[in-house]
Homo-oligomer: A and B are copies of this chain.
Amino acid sequence: MKDLKIIALVCCLMFPFLLKAQDFYSVEQRKSWLGKAEMNKPQLVEQEKKPIGLVKLVADQNAFQGWKAVPSGTVESLYGQSFKKQSGVVVDFGEHLTGYYTFTIRASRNFPDAPLRFKLTFGEVPAELATPFDPYPGGLSRAWLQDETVTVIDLPATVTIPRRVAFRYLKMELLGSSNGFDFKITDMKFKAQSSVSNAPAALAAATSPLIAKIDAVGLSTLKECMQTVYEDGPKRDRRLWIGDLYLESIANTYSFKNHQLTKRCLYILAGLAQKDGFLHASTFETPDLHAQEGQAFLFEYSLLYNAALKEYLLATGDKETALDLWPVAKKQLENISRHLDAKGLFNPGGAGQQGWWLFVDWRDGLDKQASLQGIMIFAMKETLALARQLGKENEVAELPALISKMTKAARTSLYDKNTGLFTSGPDKQISLASQSWMVLGEVANKAEAQRAMKAIAVHKTAVRPGTPYLTHYYVAALIKSGMAKEAKDLMETYWGGMVNKGADTFWEAYDPNNDKLSPYNFFPINSYCHAWSCTPVYFIRKYPEIFQK
């Protein structure tokens, strides 16, 4: 009897832990999802690329980040003479590439009597090669910077840099050699990879050159990020994030139409969800598929998964997949009601207490309350639309009332009727983020939306976007407000601004007034080919009447 009591006591004490350890999804469920992710893994398409010429980096106040790359010679001129006299040469591959670099070294006078030492620096933009990396002031790992040191013991040698790099320009410096012999570099080549193998439909012939160029740079950006998952950036972080997936997948729908990759990513995220059923914001493929455990839960990204799933269903009609993943989508909404005050207003402090991450944009000082309120309403509406497609409305029957309550709360507490602008937080901060998400969540009616979007455009102290990510939602909000011209103007000034500054692919962070803006305190560590910046492809091709007229 005594033993039994002890066992009962232990069971009671352990019950909360047992509960906590329970998985919201069954082992079989996860296995099935990850199996489907694996089945839809694309074969990478490899292409051998050669450099197109040499460039010189020239300081120029008018150039992006103060540096421009000026053609300075042919690759043959590099191959034709001793490399010793050419240390520091910058080679231009003519386009942004992702993959593996190989070059060959041959003795040209005497036999080598000592090893050689090279430093190879791969850069997506010219200033990346003109800015010393050390001492490194950045907030992310120094190892993301793509400078590799190589010792070559024997010649001839064909050297392949083991790490995958993403770049257009390559600086090659000689750090060690011997007077006893001379040598030349030859046969530089690059094994470029992407899972994209097809070209999208051509734009209308009447498309303006700038819009056509923006579209082309967007396509390059998207293609470079489409590897065996939708990566956020092939230089950094090289992983699947929900926020990037959503934007990449809608751009893909209007361009490469590689829906299999979208399907794979939706399944990876589901299969690797947290034990409590909510989604991790990002996942890795190597050394094997896993989520970024330990990272703060990124609330809004978990909600945007639903929008991505809805868009996937619309693009493909693949109800089987959407039904398979519906339980995941439904689960993501559960967090919403837990962090509202009595009126139905989002309480960022409550989320903060849980250690959540609210992102919205890379911009110091941005208040995120209104944006989150809008994102939540937007996500609920997207999920409702998804439920309707799947005949699952009964499972989310509470949504219409919650949407209504939250919309009312936003209109009551976050809308300033006098200025026509939405505010956020205790200090009633005015930002583009808040206006955009209130419009996309349809908190404002069309007239109010237009008023807000017009007012914010000329507002002098409003917090403005730091990334193309938020700017995407800004454009979407302009279109939703019926402000087609403003949307096109924004596209031309913002993404067109990057194009005019020489972008081969669109950048992770871009402030037209601050070329060196970096979320990480060091602009060379920024990603200059970033998935969330590719969406002109989506807008230009979805709304030809706006962007191609």
Contacts and interface: CB of A to CB of B under 8 A. Distances in A.
B287 A178 contact: no
A287 B107 CA distance: 12
A35 interface: no
B110 A293 contact: yes
B178 A110 contact: no
Contacts of A181: 294
Contact of A237 (B113, B145, B164, B175): B113
A154 B111 contact: no
Contacts of A110: 292-295
A487 to B, nearest CB: 35
A493 interface: no
Contact of A114 (B109, B136, B143, B148): B143
A400 interface: no
A25 to B, nearest CB: 19
Contacts of A145: 176
Interface in A258-297: 284, 286-287, 290-295
B163 A141 contact: no
Given A114-B237, A136-B176, A143-B152, 5 more contacts: A114-B140, A116-B141, A142-B177, A144-B176, A181-B294
A153 interface: yes
A392 B153 CA distance: 43
Interface in A128-167: 136, 140-145, 148-149, 151-156, 163-164
Q: 10 shortest A-B CB distances, which residue pairs?
A: A110-B294, A142-B176, A143-B176, A114-B141, A117-B143, A115-B143, A149-B149, A141-B178, A154-B286, A141-B176
Interface footprint category on A = 35 or more
A180 interface: yes
A144 to B, nearest CB: 6
A164 B287 CA distance: 27
Contacts of A144: 114-115, 176
Given A114-B237, A163-B151, A284-B111, A178 B294 contact: no
Contacts of A294: 109-111, 180-181
Contacts of A148: 149, 151
15 contacts: A113-B292, A114-B143, A114-B237, A115-B141, A115-B143, A116-B141, A117-B141, A117-B142, A136-B176, A142-B176, A143-B152, A149-B149, A180-B292, A180-B294, A181-B294
A121 B277 CA distance: 47
Given A113-B237, A117-B142, A295-B180, A286 B136 contact: no
A527 to B, nearest CB: 13
A142 B152 CA distance: 12
B111 A292 contact: yes
A274 to B, nearest CB: 13
A140 B116 CA distance: 11
Contacts of A143: 114-117, 151-152, 175-177
Interface in A160-188: 163-164, 175-178, 180-181
A153 B293 contact: no
A113 B110 CA distance: 47
A180 B140 CA distance: 9
Nearest to A149: B149
Contacts of A286: 153-154
Interface in A447-487: none
Interface in A284-315: 284, 286-287, 290-295
Among A142, A237, A284, the one with the most B-chain Cβ atoms within 10 Å of its Cβ is A142
A148 B116 CA distance: 12
Interface in A33-54: none
A286 B294 CA distance: 48
Nearest to A238: B153
Contacts of A153: 163-164, 286
Nearest to A294: B110
A321 to B, nearest CB: 27
Interface string A316-341: 00000000000000000000000000
Nearest to A280: B111
Contact of A293 (B111, B114, B175): B111
